[in-house]
Amino acid sequence: MNNFNKIIEKFPNTSIAVVGDLCLDMYYFLTDYKNEISVETGIETRSVSDFKHEAGGAGNVAINIKTLGASQVDLYGVIGQDPFGNTLKTILEKAGVNCKYIQTQNTDWNTHVYHKVYKNGKEGPRYDIGNFNKVNTHVVESLLNDLESNLNNYQVVIINEQIVHGYHNELFQAGLSKLIERYEDKCLWITDCRHLNHIYNRSIRKLNIHEAHTLFKDIHKIDKTIPDNNKLIKWLQSYWKKPVVVTLGAEGAIAADQNGQIKEVAGINLIGQIDTVGAGDAFLSGLTLTLASGGSMEEALNIGNLSANVSVTKLFETGHPTTIEVLEMGASPDYRFNPDLAEDSRKAEFIKGTSIELISLNKTGLPKVVIFDHDGTISTLRQGWEPIMKEVSMNSILGDSLNTVSPEELSRVDSAAAEMIEKTTGIQTIIQMNHLRDMVISFGYVPEKDILTPQEYKEIYNEKLLKMVSERVELFKNGLLNLNDVTMKGAIQFLEILKSKGVSIYLASGTDQGDVREEAAVLGYDSFFNGGIFGSVGNVSRDPKRVVIENIVKNLPDNIKPEECYVFGDGPVEMREAARRGFTRIGLVSDEKQRFGINPDKRSRLILGGAQALIPDFSWIPSLTEYLGWKV
């Protein structure tokens, strides 16, 4: 489903009210450079290399909605008579949010401020202002009166509550609940509450999964087993008699509409660093605008999910997604398949008597087209590339600090490098180097003038990698290694079978095209790939695996069904590209070091990528083809 353009075009016709806690987020980025000892105190100072401030809480929601294109966004909340309140209003007004209905309380109220301190990309203790606020009755009454007088102007009212010591006291809760009851049919009411989900009935509730679990336990007041997501959301909808939306973090979102029908959207796989601050607000904004524009709950879930995923790619800020970014994310999202199965190997099911794990594989006849990944699927020449990339990554990130940082910091960088490699396995090297450069910048150890381009990082990596590959090729040429020593078990025999049956065979790799063609020729199996050998040509927008699959789809005869096109690979990229087209996906949980058997680290990412079955190596092909009913 992708009606997103038509829906988003209606966003400028909407008018939204946001009623909630107003906060100011202050970001400080520390460096040891230019620290000094204070003359007055004798204590070492801390140098702030950069700082910024942004609207948090309901203010962030309001800015998100305005950034996504709403014509009118009115904000209702409370600030103090202090410089922070003035700064917050300036930020909001600059974004086009109407602040006319924000109340300023002169006593017993400080604007809520969260001071967030970062050093080397790591967040330190937070310093909060506003925890001792007490809202007065006049302010509560003014907020409620202003809101009621404007209700005819809005398609949606959002109720956003995040702070224990905010203005959502019992008086405000009672007054707002009466307004919802009185004007329930005038507009949509959507609540996003951290502590008050049991209040504000007759509204559509948006919760995260942790809040939903807590609410279930609180309502039952006994040690009752929490049901699975589908049953939980159905129960919540039945309990409140209104639609319910629950976000699932990286795994997307689920909702039950007014009729109790379940709607789901899968999580999206993101490579590179992420910052989840503000993701819930971004989701809420996309969801709200879609419903305000007449979209269905399913469409609202999708656009909310896309908005949240755009937001988390913006580091050290409460990222505000734009409609252009949402549409770009929605053009070809990499959804995460079967997350529960991916994280729990105990749920695995196998063809009896084999090591072939079945996920969602349908029985088909002999394929007409087969696409193979190269490294780790056919060839093992590049086995060991991950340690080389980690070494290059850590050297690049830490620079001259490599031998002086603390063991704890070294471990943190090591983990970050390993995570980047895990997320980017199978994609073009130049894209991996783009992410490496982002990491170098965010960790802040290397002076700006010394940060290299992605291409320069790639050259460093390739030099080390190709040295290892060249040494193995020389051993092969000299007869010290044979073909079985540098290919996955059974791979060549499988290629021979497919070619003898007239199958069109393609090779698609994230390795540079010249290198992969040369390696296939040196090892002597290039002739099997009658469809062609494709690799990276340095274009980050055109992954070779996507190009091959797109070209195949364009040229498929009418009598070839998508499921008759098979993809074999050990990485999630080829699985996702095949899934987009409805091709059959066989993942290899291959142990490249010994050329056979299982590498359990590959299982999760292949399942998340959309693999329909997993095999350790090609020696299992007879069992797989028997299950599928191929005549080979």
Categorize the per-residue pLDDT at 2 as very low, low, confident or very high, splitting at 50, 70 and 90.
Answer: low
Using the predicted structure, report yes or no on whether residue 318 has a pLDDT greater than 80: no
Q: What is the pLDDT of residue 545?
A: 78
First CA to last CA distance, the chain: 38
The percentage of residues in the chain with a pLDDT greater than 90, rounded to a whole number, is: 75
Q: How far apart are CA 143 and CA 263, in angstroms?
A: 35
The percentage of residues in the chain with a pLDDT greater than 70, rounded to a whole number, is: 98
Q: What is the pLDDT of residue 632?
A: 66
User: In the 3-class helix/strand/coil scheme, how is 416-443 assigned residue by residue?
Assistant: HHHHHHHHHCCCCHHHHHHHHHHHHHHH
DSSP string over 163-204: -TTSS--HHHHHHHHHHHHHTTTTSEEEEEESS-TTSSTTSE
Lowest mean pLDDT among 219-228, 232-241, 527-536: 219-228
Q: What is the pLDDT of residue 487?
A: 97
Contact 575, 542 (CB under 8 A): no
Contact 156, 14 (CB under 8 A): yes
What are the pLDDT digits (tens) for 430-487? Answer: 889 999 999 999 888 999 999 999 999 999 999 999 999 999 999 999 999 999 999 9
Contact 321, 328 (CB under 8 A): no
Q: How far apart are CA 177 and CA 181, in angstroms?
A: 6
What are the pLDDT digits (tens) for 519-573? Answer: 999 999 999 999 999 988 877 667 777 887 887 777 777 778 888 999 999 999 8
Name the average pLDDT for the chain: 92
Categorize the per-residue pLDDT at 123 as very low, low, confident or very high, splitting at 50, 70 and 90.
Answer: confident
Q: What is the mean pLDDT of residues 253-257?
A: 96
Categorize the per-residue pLDDT at 589 as very low, low, confident or very high, splitting at 50, 70 and 90.
Answer: very high
Using the predicted structure, report yes or no on whether residue 1 has a pLDDT greater than 50: no
Q: What is the pLDDT of residue 148?
A: 97
Q: What is the mean pLDDT of residues 232-247?
A: 94
Break the chain into its structural domains and give their ranges: 4-331, 339-380+487-628, 385-477
Phi-psi region of 549 (alpha: psi -120 to 50; beta: other; left: phi over 0): alpha
Q: What is the mean pLDDT of residues 578-603?
A: 94
Contact 287, 255 (CB under 8 A): no
Q: How far apart are CA 191 and CA 202, in angstroms?
A: 10
Q: What is the mean pLDDT of residues 20-34?
A: 90
Nearest residue to 156 (alpha-carbon basis) of 70, 89, 245, 243: 70
Q: How buried is residue 391: exposed, middle or buried, by Cβ count under 10 Å (0-12/13-18/19+)?
A: middle
What are the pLDDT digits (tens) for 53-93? Answer: 999 999 999 999 999 999 999 999 999 999 999 999 999 99
Please, what sign has the CA dihedral across residues 575, 581, 582, 583? negative
Q: How buried is residue 35: exposed, middle or buried, by Cβ count under 10 Å (0-12/13-18/19+)?
A: exposed
Q: How far apart are CA 308 and CA 325, in angstroms?
A: 11
Please, what sign has the CA dihedral across residues 520, 526, 529, 531? positive
292 residue type, one letter: A
* More reliable by pLDDT, 33 or 19: 19
**β-pair partners for 30:** 48, 119
Range 4-331 has CATH code 3.40.1190.20: yes
Phi-psi region of 482 (alpha: psi -120 to 50; beta: other; left: phi over 0): beta
Using the predicted structure, report yes or no on whether residue 287 has a pLDDT greater than 90: yes
Contact partners, residue 551, CB within 8 Å, separation at least 6: none
Q: What is the mean pLDDT of residues 325-332?
A: 91
Tell me which of 3.30.365.10, 3.40.50.720, 1.20.1740.10, 3.40.50.1000 is the CATH number of domain 339-380+487-628: 3.40.50.1000
| pTM, entire model | 0.84
Using the predicted structure, report yes or no on whether residue 164 has a pLDDT greater than 90: no
From residue 470, how far is each of 111, 376, 382, 458 by CA, in Å?
63, 17, 10, 17
Q: What is the mean pLDDT of residues 382-401?
A: 95
Length of the chain, in residues: 632
Using the predicted structure, report yes or no on whether residue 502 has a pLDDT greater than 50: yes
| SS3 state at 548 | helix
Q: What is the mean pLDDT of residues 192-204?
A: 92
**β-pair partners for 79:** 104
